[in-house]
């Protein structure tokens, strides 16, 4: 069935990303307006807005309110719902409710979401299909005591993970036996809060692995292909900071082997739509299955750049019941792509969120640069959602050229307002081992000693500017400037907000 | 008050960084400063998009004032921030003197590294803490973070309660060295 309209149960850059493809395909897009972001950019890009901002319920956040979203979709007679990432994207009940109401869910079956969402079931499927796994608990742990017993058997360090988890939450590494009880409590509390499910499992902790994931695409006729890997090893506390495709660690033989394992996993749940199979890769090229994400990923653009395939378009076509228009042989990885996540975070204070108004944002454009963003001048980074400002995606013929282009693009990416991770991106780019492609998930804690790059002259220039400004005010003396508050000049954006 | 009579012309200003590095500039400020023996031009610009930048040795540096409170400044240069207090020679002398006295007292406060919610407090007043020991669980951006003590000592006071929301740099706990 052709999809003529779709509701995006999401916000920010991914909402805009989906709208772009919908527009290209002649599909009418609907988005949800919330009281938390009533002036967000994605609202203007969509064809129609469904307003949730009037009577908002504090108990269930808007993008998690399954029944309200389903009802609105029915009322507006939309054909399909795209969940984006996060929120309800991996909630099997949401996919099931769509099915019951005859709304096409642009994603996999609720059964596939359920089975891959439960990490213990997913691991069991991997075992049955002889995909390599790490030693660990079978099924959920009953308590810290059981965790201790298993950990003592397989040896430390071990990692505790939320059975319903993802995104680094509900995860704790345990180095020594004496810490296991405390870490168990921390992880289970976090899991309960984040996923409404306190269940944990445990596995051997590989100290310095690479994090490699494979993009999968399957249709409803049993065809499954992989679109190569993404290198996601540069992380902080399990949060990805940049991704590339391909990975400097893989050759075509290993790619083939891991790709086939990824397809096996997907096939075990008759997977259709776009999905991602995550692996840990050790120094000796041995790999083990971690989990499958049953949705579009934040870092999907790097795969799009090297394969030339619009993943959102494929998701929509597959949801309509179309067959994948290519086979594994047709898929070629062309060149090298890197995605730099630019977040509103204070790198100099442990990456703490730096909220506020984006007064100005600008970047240069050329054929190597793609920017996916949900913000523009005047947008607000709120405490309600993630701290992402933009994804800067660079595509070139080789990794070396992609790094060169990255340097230039990052230098010319200017943001006025919040503190950002741009200086972190520069620090990574300057690191010799990163440039050589020699790194793993311990890169931030071990290799990159200073998490931001700054030249010695910059401190001098800052000192000069502060002194210059102070001296000017001293001279003006009693004449206080009009539009200041706590000494900080009020920008037009803040004034505009107040006047409303 | 004979304010004007008392007022002495300040001949220089010093930007003192948070790492205690002093940058001295002569008054009135020239847009040409001495640097490693040579004089270099500083040009302040504003581009059509409204960004401020300095041109220094033929390179552009984007500038932004992040915070400004009296003589306290946080300036961003190429997305790295630097904090300063701008001092006169007299105020700098006074500041240094006060700091020396401050060192004598041996209480240290543990501050929130980021805004968030207090999930748990793992120590009690008058209890002993060791360096590196977790003292508070702070939830921020849906992650639970352990705040650890960077000194060993006795807990002098606990300034927060369970479930309380705190801002960055709020004092959580004070510890007496020992």
pLDDT in tens, A232-247: 999 998 899 999 999 9
Verify that B90 and B127 share a domain, yes or no.
no
What pLDDT is attached to residue A158? 96
Range of the domain at B133: 107-177
Average pLDDT over residues A15-41: 97
Q: Out of B103, B131, B165, pick the residue that ends a domain.
A: B103
What pLDDT is attached to residue B20? 86
Flag whether B78 is in a domain. yes
Backbone angles phi, psi at A13, to 5 degrees: -65, -35
DSSP string, A250-297: --HHHHHHHHHHHHHHHHTTT--EEEEEEEEE-TTS-EEEEEEE-S--
Verify that B126 and B81 share a domain, yes or no.
no
What pLDDT is attached to residue A488? 53
The answer to whether the CB atoms of A470 and B86 lie below 8 A apart is: yes
Verify that B111 and B97 share a domain, yes or no.
no
Residue ranges of A 426-465 with Cβ closer than 8 A to chain B: 426, 452-455, 457-465
pTM over 0.90: no
Identify the bridge partners of residue A200 per DSSP, sorted by sequence position: A162
The overall average pLDDT reported for chain B is: 83
Verify that B172 and B142 share a domain, yes or no.
yes
Flag whether B127 is in a domain. yes
Q: Which residue has the higher pLDDT, B118 or B10?
A: B118
Residue ranges of A 137-196 with Cβ closer than 8 A to chain B: 168-169, 182, 186, 189-190, 193-194
Q: At A411, is the pLDDT very low, low, confident or very high (cuts 50, 70, 90)? A: very high
The overall average pLDDT reported for chain A is: 92
pLDDT in tens, A54-107: 865 667 889 999 999 999 999 999 999 999 999 999 999 999 999 999 999 999
Indicate which residue of A11, A17, A236, A295 is catalytic. Answer: A295
Average pLDDT over residues A222-226: 98
Q: Out of B79, B103, B127, pick the residue that ends a domain.
A: B103
ipTM score = 0.78
* Cα-based torsion angle of the residue sequence A118, A124, A126, A128 in order, rounded to the nearest 10 degrees: -150
Instruction: Provide the percentage of residues in chain B whose pLDDT is more than 70.
Output: 89
Average pLDDT over residues A25-49: 97
Q: Which domains does chain A have, with CATH numbers?
A: 5-106 (3.40.50.20), 135-204 (3.30.1490.20), 210-447 (3.30.470.20), 459-499 (no CATH)
Q: Output the domain CATH number for residue B26.
A: 3.30.700.30
Verify that B92 and B20 share a domain, yes or no.
yes
Q: At A164, is the pLDDT very low, low, confident or very high (cuts 50, 70, 90)? A: confident
* Cα-based torsion angle of the residue sequence A143, A147, A148, A150 in order, rounded to the nearest 10 degrees: 140
Q: Whose CA is closest to A494, among A409, A417, A439? A: A417
Chain A closest CA to B127's CA: distance in Å? Answer: 19
Verify that B31 and B99 share a domain, yes or no.
yes
**CA distance linking residue A493 with residue A497, whole number of Å:** 6
Backbone angles phi, psi at A474, to 5 degrees: -60, -45
Q: At B1, is the pLDDT very low, low, confident or very high (cuts 50, 70, 90)? A: very low
Flag whether B2 is in a domain. no
Flag whether B4 is in a domain. no
pLDDT in tens, B54-100: 888 888 899 988 888 889 999 999 999 999 999 999 999 988 888 77
What pLDDT is attached to residue B5? 44
Q: Output the domain CATH number for residue B112.
A: 2.40.50.100
- The total of structural domains in chain B comes to 2
């Amino acid at each position: 069935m052709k999809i003529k309209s779709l509701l995006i149960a999401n916000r920010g850059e991914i909402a805009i990303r989906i709208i772009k493809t919908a527009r290209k395909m002649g599909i009418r897009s609907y988005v949800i307006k919330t009281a938390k972001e009533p002036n967000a950019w994605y609202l203007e890009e969509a064809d129609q807005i469904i307003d949730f901002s009037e009577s908002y319920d504090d108990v269930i956040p808007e993008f998690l309110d399954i029944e309200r979203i389903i009802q609105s979709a029915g009322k507006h007679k939309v054909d399909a719902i795209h969940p984006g990432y996060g929120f309800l994207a991996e909630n099997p009940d949401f996919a099931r409710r769509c099915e019951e109401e005859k709304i096409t869910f642009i994603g996999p079956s609720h059964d596939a979401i359920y089975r891959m969402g439960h990490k213990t079931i997913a691991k069991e499927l991997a075992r049955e299909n002889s995909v390599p796994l790490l030693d660990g608990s079978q099924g959920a742990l009953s308590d810290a005591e059981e965790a201790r017993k298993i950990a003592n058997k397989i040896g430390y360090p071990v990692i505790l993970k939320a059975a319903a988890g993802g995104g680094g939450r509900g995860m704790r590494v345990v180095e020594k036996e004496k810490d296991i009880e405390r870490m168990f409590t921390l992880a289970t509390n976090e899991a309960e809060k984040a996923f409404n499910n306190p269940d944990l499992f445990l596995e051997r902790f590989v100290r310095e692995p690479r994090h490699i994931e494979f993009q999968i695409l399957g249709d409803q006729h049993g065809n499954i292909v992989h679109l190569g890997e993404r290198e996601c090893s540069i992380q902080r506390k399990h949060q990805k900071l940049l991704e590339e495709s391909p990975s400097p660690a893989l050759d075509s033989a290993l790619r083939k082997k891991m790709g086939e394992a990824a397809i096996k996993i997907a096939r075990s749940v008759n997977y259709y739509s776009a999905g991602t199979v995550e692996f840990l890769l050790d120094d000796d090229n041995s790999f083990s299955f971690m989990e499958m994400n049953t949705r579009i990923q934040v870092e999907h653009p790097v795969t799009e750049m090297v394969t030339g395939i619009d993943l959102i378009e494929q998701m929509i076509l597959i949801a309509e019941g179309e067959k994948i228009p290519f086979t594994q042989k047709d898929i070629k990885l062309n060149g090298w792509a890197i995605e730099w996540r630019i977040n509103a975070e204070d790198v100099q204070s442990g990456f703490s969120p730096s909220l506020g108004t984006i007064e100005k944002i600008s970047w240069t454009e050329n054929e190597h640069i793609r920017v996916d963003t949900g913000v523009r001048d005047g947008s607000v980074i709120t405490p309600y959602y993630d701290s992402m400002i933009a994804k800067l995606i660079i595509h070139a013929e080789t990794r070396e050229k992609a790094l060169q282009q990255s340097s230039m693009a990052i230098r010319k990416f200017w943001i006025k307002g919040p503190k950002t991770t741009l200086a972190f991106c520069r620090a990574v780019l300057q690191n010799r081992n990163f440039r050589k492609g020699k790194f793993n998930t311990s890169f931030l804690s071990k290799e990159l000693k200073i998490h931001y790059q700054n030249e010695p002259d910059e401190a001098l220039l800052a000192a000069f500017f502060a002194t210059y400004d102070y001296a000017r005010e001293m001279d003006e003396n009693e004449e206080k400037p009009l539009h200041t508050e706590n000494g900080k000049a009020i920008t037009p954006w803040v004034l505009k907000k107040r006047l409303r | 008050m004979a304010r004007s009579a008392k007022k002495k012309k300040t001949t220089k200003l010093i930007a003192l960084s948070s790492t205690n590095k002093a940058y001295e500039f002569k008054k009135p400020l020239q847009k040409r400063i001495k640097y490693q023996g040579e004089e270099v031009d500083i040009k302040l610009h504003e581009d059509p998009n409204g960004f401020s930048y300095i041109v220094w040795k033929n390179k552009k540096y984007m500038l932004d004032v992040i915070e400004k409170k009296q003589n306290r400044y946080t300036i961003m240069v190429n997305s790295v921030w630097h904090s300063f207090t701008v001092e006169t020679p007299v105020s700098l002398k006074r500041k240094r003197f006060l700091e020396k006295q401050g060192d004598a007292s041996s209480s240290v406060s543990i501050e929130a590294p980021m805004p968030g919610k207090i999930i748990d407090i793992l120590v009690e007043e008058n209890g002993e803490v060791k360096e590196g020991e977790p003292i508070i669980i702070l939830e921020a951006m849906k992650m639970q973070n352990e705040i650890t003590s960077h000194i060993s000592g006795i807990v002098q006071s606990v300034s927060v309660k369970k479930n309380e929301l705190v801002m960055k740099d709020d004092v959580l706990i004070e510890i007496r060295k020992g």
